[in-house]
């Protein structure tokens, strides 16, 4: 089977291999196990790979490069508009030559792929919508347009749309799905944490406003001021790194806040094994891998009530749900600490997450391609 991937994910080429964002590549490698050829239509940039990028493993993979487009300024928008016809033609020609079309959404390239796939109603197709599928969430116009096209069974035919969460009143082609980071061989017995000593929190993710890393820092700062000894280890990079470092320095938090930058999967895995809590007060998520990964090792997640997170945390039985208001979040965490049921929450979190392994994900992908 010739398998086509249409994606906005930035790629690099190094030592005759193609690299991209590791969680994305990890999943694509599973799709590759069941196809003979892989063609990726995506942007390519010239730079060295980072710690959070990994290589495709398929031995018959090609990359059809397209320009990167963005609409963050008037200049970039005008430049992108001129590139759209080139991208349309490239995607259309790739779709003609493939057996299965796979879209990665949401994103600007995903939107163009959604439009082009309409011209191929008889082709086998799938789309992975990795964002928030909640019908009631406020989202950019391009995201809402992609969701509308994908849900429209007249325009979008012969396609399974894989979404995070189980939402009411969906069209027949919408399929609740999941992602995974670890295999069943990585399941291990974790020693129960002692919640009476200094509490170790972790934050893993991009340092951008949507993830609210500053709020995470302020929560740990407030807990210490209330006499609850805590520290926070932040894994990730992004545009807020400089301002977060300044905040830590200006408020003398160097002994409790540790900014560790982007790290490889194994480094984060070891950090999770002796952490008590993961904190991720995001504004929006799809299936937050950081939360599922933490739960896999018995770490109690603390997160906002967005997307499918309430379902993941079983409305508080597998984690702590907070409002993104500092004082309210701190009070909710203190309340849970005083309930003395944290060991049970951690066990339930781990049992749930360990159902979603790379092995089970590969099995579900195989069913889709068949």
Q: Report pLDDT for 13.
A: 96
Tokens of 88: 């349309």
Q: Report pLDDT for 76.
A: 82
Q: Report pLDDT for 189.
A: 83
Q: Report pLDDT for 54.
A: 95
Q: Report pLDDT for 70.
A: 86
Helices marked H in the chain: 22-32, 74-96, 108-116, 141-151, 213-225, 241-250, 265-273, 289-296, 309-312, 326-339, 342-353, 358-369
Of 116, 103, 160, 125, the C-alpha closest to 1 is 125
Ordered domains of the chain (ranges, CATH): 2-182+358-369 (3.40.50), 188-353 (3.40.50.2000)
Residue 100 has a CB neighbour count (10 Å cut-off) of 18
Helix axes 342-353, 326-339, angle to 10 degrees: 100
Tokens of 56: 């495709």
Residue 363 has a CB neighbour count (10 Å cut-off) of 11
pTM for the model stands at: 0.90
Q: What is the pLDDT along the chain (370 residues), one digit of tens a residue?
A: 999 999 999 999 999 999 999 999 999 999 999 999 999 999 999 999 998 999 999 999 999 999 998 887 888 888 889 999 999 999 999 999 999 999 999 999 999 999 999 999 999 999 999 999 999 888 899 999 999 999 999 999 999 999 999 899 999 999 999 999 999 999 988 888 999 999 999 999 999 999 999 999 999 999 999 999 999 999 999 999 999 999 999 999 999 999 999 999 899 999 999 999 999 999 989 899 999 999 999 999 999 999 999 999 999 999 999 999 999 999 999 999 998 899 999 999 999 999 999 999 999 999 999 8
Q: Report pLDDT for 163.
A: 97
Q: Are 333 and 322 in contact (CB under 8 A)?
A: yes
- Rounded distance between C-alpha atoms, residue 349 and residue 344, angstroms: 9
Q: Which residues pair with 40 in a beta bridge?
A: 5, 63
């Amino acid at each position: 089977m010739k398998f086509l991937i249409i994606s906005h994910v930035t790629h690099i080429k190094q030592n005759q291999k193609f690299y991209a964002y590791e969680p994305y590549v990890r999943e694509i490698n599973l799709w590759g196990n069941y196809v003979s050829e892989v063609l990726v239509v995506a942007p390519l940039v010239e730079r060295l790979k980072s710690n959070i990028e990994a290589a495709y493993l398929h031995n018959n993979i090609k990359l059809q490069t397209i320009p990167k487009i963005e609409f963050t300024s008037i200049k970039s928008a005008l430049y992108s508009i001129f590139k759209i016809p080139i991208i349309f033609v490239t995607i259309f020609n790739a779709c003609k030559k493939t057996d299965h079309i796979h879209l990665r959404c949401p994103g600007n390239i995903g939107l163009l792929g959604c439009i082009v796939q309409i011209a191929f109603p008889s082709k086998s197709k799938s789309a992975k919508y990795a964002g928030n599928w909640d019908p009631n969430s406020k989202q950019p116009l391009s995201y809402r347009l992609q969701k509308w096209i994908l849900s429209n069974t007249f325009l979008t035919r012969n396609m399974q749309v894989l979404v995070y969460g189980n939402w009411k009143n969906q069209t027949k082609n919408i399929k609740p799905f999941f992602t995974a980071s670890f295999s069943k061989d990585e399941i291990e017995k974790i020693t129960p944490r002692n919640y009476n000593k200094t509490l170790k929190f972790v934050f893993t993710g991009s340092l951008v406003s949507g993830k609210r890393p500053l709020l995470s820092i302020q929560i740990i700062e407030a807990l210490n001021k209330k006499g609850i000894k805590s520290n926070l280890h932040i894994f990730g990079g992004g545009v807020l790194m400089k301002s977060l470092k300044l905040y830590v320095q200006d408020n003398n938090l160097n002994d409790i806040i540790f900014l560790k930058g982007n790290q490889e999967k194994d480094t984060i895995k070891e950090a999770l094994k002796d952490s008590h809590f993961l904190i991720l007060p995001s504004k929006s998520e799809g299936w937050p891998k950081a939360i599922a990964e933490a739960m896999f090792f018995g770490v109690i997640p603390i997160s906002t009530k967005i997307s499918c997170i309430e379902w993941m945390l079983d409305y508080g039985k597998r984690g702590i749900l907070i409002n993104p208001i500092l004082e309210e979040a701190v009070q909710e965490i203190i309340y849970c600490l005083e309930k003395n049921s944290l060991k049970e929450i951690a066990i339930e979190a781990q049992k749930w997450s360990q159902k979603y392994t790379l092995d089970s994900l590969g099995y579900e992908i195989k069913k889709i391609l068949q």
